[in-house]
Structure 1
Amino acid sequence: MIKIVKENEFNSEIKDGVVVVDFFADWCGPCKMLAPIFEELESEMKEKVKFVKVDVDDSTGVAHEYDITNIPSIVIFKDGEKKEKLVGFRPKENLKVEIESFLK
């Protein structure tokens, strides 16, 4: 299961390497559709990429800081720097290609 990160630990979680963050809420239908895809990608890519989740209802400060106005939103960080924001549901292969582009 992918770790759900709270506001107080967010910066330490994203500081090293490529980190993919799923901003979600329990009540969000498309977020629920994305969850198993996110889990699959984590199991396939865990040697190279860290995957974490942020509940926008519990961590409003982080959501505001990264301008998360629609969910699901996937934000890709590299060494603590925001590199890409993907809004809405994405098929697995589409997400994988986006993530892999930051491993080069």
Structure 2
Amino acid sequence: MINDVSYDEFIQSIRNNQYVVMLGYANMCGTCEVAKKMLEVLSVNMSDITFNKINVNLNQLLIKEHDISSVPCFMLFKNGELFDTFYAFNSITFLYNRITSLKK
């Protein structure tokens, strides 16, 4: 399951969870919808990782703080720290490999 979070919930999530996948999205973004569906599939078998999504159009502070230049934006956090940020994805396998790199 992917939780839709506010900015404050975003901050709490990365503070309170060891591994967090955050998807920055926009409502009218078709590629963001594909990304959400892929993350939904992955989240079912990755219960030790918290999956969140946040609407970047409603959270300008997030855009500024994390220098988000496009959507979808994937941000991976490990122990409260930004571990990886990426924008392009070409398959669910690519996402799986990138996300599991959090645990290495």
TM-score normalized by the length of structure 1: 0.91
- Give the aligned CA root-mean-square deviation in angstroms: 1.2
Q: CA deviation at 1:33?
A: 1.5
How far, CA to CA, are the matches of 1:10 and 1:74 in structure 2?
13
How far, CA to CA, are the matches of 1:32 and 1:22 in structure 2?
11
Preserved contact between residue 33 and residue 89 of structure 1 (Cα < 8 Å)? no
**2:33 corresponding residue in structure 1:** 32
**2:52 corresponding residue in structure 1:** 52
1:80/1:90 CA distance change after superposition, 3 Å: farther
Preserved contact between residue 89 and residue 95 of structure 2 (Cα < 8 Å)? no
Q: 1:86 is aligned with what amino acid?
A: F
Deviations 1:27-78 (A, max 9, x none): 01110111110100111112x2110001001111112211111000100000
Q: Is the helix fraction higher in 1 or 2?
A: 2
Residue 10 (1) aligns with residue 10 (2): yes
**1:102 corresponding residue in structure 2:** 102
SS of alignment partner, residue 21 of structure 2: strand
Q: Percent identity?
A: 30
Residue 20 (1) aligns with residue 21 (2): yes
How far, CA to CA, are the matches of 1:25 and 1:56 in structure 2?
6
How far, CA to CA, are the matches of 1:24 and 1:89 in structure 2?
14
Q: 2:66 is aligned with what amino acid?
A: Y
How far, CA to CA, are the matches of 1:63 and 1:39 in structure 2?
23
- Equivalences, count: 103
Residue 62 (1) aligns with residue 55 (2): no
In the alignment, structure 1 segments of 5+ residues that lack a partner are none
